[in-house]
Structure 1
Amino acid sequence: MKAWIAGVLGVVGVMVTGMAQAQDLIVEKKVFDLPSYTTQSGRTLKNVKVGWESYGTLNADKSNAILICHFFSGNSHAAGKYAVADAAPGYWDAIIGPGKAIDTNKYFVIASDTLVNLNTGDPKTTTTGPASIDPDTSKPYALDFPVVTIGDFVNVQKALVESLGIKKLVMVAGPSMGALQTYEWAASHPEMVGKAMAVIGAAEADAQLIAWLDVWAAPILVDPNWNKGDYYGKTPPNAGLAKALTVVTLQANHGDWTNGTFGRRPAKEGEEPAKALGNKFQVQSILDNAGEARAKVSDANHFLYLVKANQLYAAGGKSLADAMSRIKAPLLIVNQPKDLVFPDEMIQRTVAEAKKAGRDVTHVTIQGTRGHLDGVISMKQAEGAVKAFVEK
């Protein structure tokens, strides 16, 4: 688990603590092919592909399925391992598996890669986005790829779910951007969602989040190698992408972690930051190195498209109030009060609007030193609440 989270969030393994222990759930990555898909903006894409995996067994009447949606820099690998020798299992392995809160002895759990997934260099990720080949030109789409939304992510997932003969999901759940997809499912397809568990995410992107996402994107846009998105077959804008990933990693954590882990130590003994402009503190060096490593298996345009999808987000496509008027499923909302990406007051607005609309809401908090990231790596704290919610 440690190594996987390190890869996903650009944080080296020694920086990740409190992870769940690995188990022997072995999973297979598959590919879902959609001959054509029309985006919410009206553009039809050919040969859409996304990766997916599952845990447990679908029952005869196909009534025991749960869908897990991944976070901004994640992919479908929510639990288990692809091989026994893998260094770590999926990110929510603490709560998904045999006998766990989301019990794969009872439920058939599905997880898929989104459109414009960040991890284009990962052989275990399959996605369709700017780096994909446009069948009409035999060249990468680059910025000719249409803007896609969280609603588009969900609609492709819906096609996958329906291809398996599943008409209704026991639950949809996910952390961060996965929470956005969860609310989208519940608002746009209420007849298909039995329950919804949104972790470290709100039901609408507010102005503060929109602005912060712009800060995430900025290093890519000022990298000359970005070249207005036209860099395929050329030098990619990995310097800008690396710094963008550094920004994401920092905001996804908390000062309790940075101060407690690094303090004011220099990156190298004897190279005091005060003695030369290029001398760094340890926290700078670690975050920069992690961002550079992660950039090598990621795509800058995909990062920008993910940013846009998150900025555009309002569950159901309209507003927080409208979304809550359409959601019918009981809600379990889990957050970390020290979250810097989706601050506590933002989550409280979602909770308040849900209650105002008469929704069945359970709100649980988790603690830790990692802020937003605790919703990925510290979910074992919430296993009792998750188990009770799934089974009630």
Structure 2
Amino acid sequence: MIGRRGLLATAGVLAAAYAMPAAAQEVVEKRVFEAGAFQTRGGATIKNTRIGYQTMGRLNAAGDNAVLICHFFSGNSQAFGRLSANGPAGYWDAIIGPGKAIDTDHYFVVSADTLVNVNVPDANTVTTGPASINPDTGRPWGMSFPVIAMRDFVEVQKKLLDSLGVKRLALVAGPSNGGLQSIEWAAAYPDFVQRVMPVISAEIDAWMQGWLDIWEAPIRLDPNWREGDYYGQGREPPLRGLAEAWKIVTLHARDRPWARQFDRKLPEGQDPARRIGDRFAIEKWLDDAALARARTSDANSFLYMVRANQLFLNDYPDLSTAMQGAARRWLVVPAPTDRVFLLEGVREFVDVLQKAGKQVEVAEVGGTLGHLNGVVGMAPLTERIRGLLAQ
């Protein structure tokens, strides 16, 4: 098993870049929520649904000081604190904890693993998905696992919050895929959600659905994928295809200033001007980082996570309809150099919110990492986040 330390130590890949260097003294406990039978938006039933979660702070008597943090595409519930005294800090630890922007002396913060989480080999990730055992067959589900929509993430999280006694969310927030979940929450439960903070996310339109298809394409082309039937003894997982998928995601989530460190550089012994098989420095870095990431994740789960993103707000005919009845208070956080959720798309999303009569503020997050700035660069927005919570 690859532990959380190994997952975050994978230098340069998407999940690794999300790990923040901020010191964290709080040790949190990873728990398991047994959600039982769950009916998906597509009408299928999953008998034994379970997800991992962690909390910090205390729920008040009214049950209305809760904050839900939703994780990014390749992440898990460790948004804050450490799972062990010497373990890595959570990806948003700089803004969540005692005295921080989301102050756990005042708020009860919950973060949970999603269904179909990609980090199946990580012992600190608990999820139900295609790598889980189908109780009817005794074998892994594979591609027979029901299709999961983003709304299904929300509904399982709602069951978790109900079990914890949460009556209302003071805030729901998250980066990237976590921001999409936040938007989905705002549409699904407007009376339950007081404030929304989607970070580095906007709408999944047809253009973004197409990009997501490109992310996953190498997996389907790997002969070892076998239409998802690679869990059997003696079968090799589609590691090469999964690594190529992570390579696309890794570069897509970064920006040109980050890549300048590789300008005019070649790995030792490589000369691409003389030999077509030799590599440039950035190619080798991407190859190594993506392969390391592939070894800590599951290919089928990657495909299911892509589909969940493509099914963002699938219960509604369009974004405007979804936002009409959504929660009222918003802090939208784009990264101007984001190559995944472009700034123009975020502006269009904000316009939809404003036309729907929402109270909307925008705070840009800077840095050299493009999309990833929405995690590693959040500390400077501390006062903006406090201001949102004070409204």
TM bin, normalised by shorter chain, reads: over 0.9
Structure 1 CA distance for aligned equivalents of residues 161 and 95 of structure 2: 22
Per the alignment, in what secondary structure is the counterpart of residue 171 of structure 1? strand
| CA 1:40–1:315: 2 relative to 1, 3 Å | closer
Q: Is the 8 A contact 1:29 1:82 kept in 2?
A: yes
Structure 1 CA distance for aligned equivalents of residues 130 and 359 of structure 2: 40
| CA 1:34–1:79: 2 relative to 1, 3 Å | same
Moved more, 379-388 or 16-25: 16-25
Deviation at 1:317, TM superposition (A): 3.6
Q: Aligned ranges for residues 106-255 of structure 1 at < 5 Å? A: 106-202=106-202, 204-233=203-232, 234-255=235-256
Q: CA-to-partner distance for each residue in 1:179-202, whole Å, 9 max, x for gaps?
A: 110011010111110111110001
Q: Which residue of 2 aligns with 1:323?
A: 322
| CA 1:184–1:8: 2 relative to 1, 3 Å | farther
Q: Which residue of 1 aligns with 2:262?
A: 262
The one-letter amino acid paired with 2:198 is A
Q: Is the 8 A contact 1:183 1:315 kept in 2?
A: no
Per the alignment, in what secondary structure is the counterpart of residue 58 of structure 1? coil
| CA 1:4–1:138: 2 relative to 1, 3 Å | closer
Q: Which residue of 2 aligns with 1:385?
A: 384
The one-letter amino acid paired with 1:301 is N
Per the alignment, in what secondary structure is the counterpart of residue 191 of structure 1? coil
Q: Which residue of 1 aligns with 2:84?
A: 83
Q: CA-to-partner distance for each residue in 1:245-298, whole Å, 9 max, x for gaps?
A: 111010011011112x21131122x32122222211111111111111111121
Per the alignment, in what secondary structure is the counterpart of residue 244 of structure 1? helix
Q: Is the 8 A contact 1:174 1:181 kept in 2?
A: yes
The one-letter amino acid paired with 2:205 is D
| CA 1:307–1:58: 2 relative to 1, 3 Å | same
Q: Aligned ranges for residues 8-157 of structure 1 at < 5 Å? A: 10=13, 19-86=20-87, 88-157=88-157
Q: Is the 8 A contact 2:179 2:198 kept in 1?
A: yes
Structure 2 CA distance for aligned equivalents of residues 166 and 326 of structure 1: 22
The one-letter amino acid paired with 2:361 is T
The one-letter amino acid paired with 1:240 is G
Per the alignment, in what secondary structure is the counterpart of residue 380 of structure 2? helix
The one-letter amino acid paired with 2:57 is G
Moved more, 308-317 or 32-41: 308-317
Q: Is the 8 A contact 1:188 1:316 kept in 2?
A: no
Structure 2 CA distance for aligned equivalents of residues 303 and 18 of structure 1: 20
Q: Which residue of 2 aligns with 1:368?
A: 367
Q: Which residue of 2 aligns with 1:306?
A: 305
Deviation at 1:6, TM superposition (A): 5.1
Q: Is the 8 A contact 2:240 2:291 kept in 1?
A: yes
| CA 1:10–1:89: 2 relative to 1, 3 Å | same
Over aligned residues, Cα RMSD in angstroms?
Answer: 1.9
| CA 1:247–1:285: 2 relative to 1, 3 Å | same
TM-score, normalised via structure 1 length: 0.95
| Seq. identity, % | 47
Moved more, 17-26 or 276-285: 17-26
Structure 2 CA distance for aligned equivalents of residues 361 and 12 of structure 1: 29
Q: CA-to-partner distance for each residue in 1:198-249, whole Å, 9 max, x for gaps?
A: 10001x2112111111110111010000011111121100110011011101
Structure 2 CA distance for aligned equivalents of residues 8 and 128 of structure 1: 27
Q: Which residue of 2 aligns with 1:279?
A: 278
Structure 1 CA distance for aligned equivalents of residues 7 and 279 of structure 2: 27
Deviation at 1:19, TM superposition (A): 4.1
Deviation at 1:60, TM superposition (A): 2.5
Per the alignment, in what secondary structure is the counterpart of residue 274 of structure 1? coil
Deviation at 1:17, TM superposition (A): 10
Moved more, 34-43 or 323-332: 323-332
Per the alignment, in what secondary structure is the counterpart of residue 335 of structure 1? coil
Deviation at 1:34, TM superposition (A): 1.3
Q: Is the 8 A contact 1:316 1:322 kept in 2?
A: no
The one-letter amino acid paired with 2:387 is A
The one-letter amino acid paired with 1:69 is C
Structure 2 CA distance for aligned equivalents of residues 370 and 224 of structure 1: 34
The one-letter amino acid paired with 2:259 is T
| CA 1:38–1:11: 2 relative to 1, 3 Å | closer
Deviation at 1:314, TM superposition (A): 2.6
Q: Is the 8 A contact 1:219 1:243 kept in 2?
A: yes
Moved more, 16-25 or 133-142: 16-25
Deviation at 1:178, TM superposition (A): 0.5
Per the alignment, in what secondary structure is the counterpart of residue 275 of structure 1? coil
Deviation at 1:4, TM superposition (A): 6.2
| CA 1:294–1:85: 2 relative to 1, 3 Å | same
Per the alignment, in what secondary structure is the counterpart of residue 289 of structure 1? helix
Structure 2 CA distance for aligned equivalents of residues 19 and 146 of structure 1: 34
Per the alignment, in what secondary structure is the counterpart of residue 33 of structure 1? strand
Deviation at 1:8, TM superposition (A): 9.2
Moved more, 43-52 or 272-281: 272-281
Structure 2 CA distance for aligned equivalents of residues 76 and 8 of structure 1: 20
TM-score, normalised via structure 2 length: 0.95
Q: CA-to-partner distance for each residue in 1:88-124, whole Å, 9 max, x for gaps?
A: 2000011001100000111110000000000000000
Deviation at 1:61, TM superposition (A): 2.5
Structure 1 CA distance for aligned equivalents of residues 360 and 305 of structure 2: 28
Per the alignment, in what secondary structure is the counterpart of residue 129 of structure 1? coil
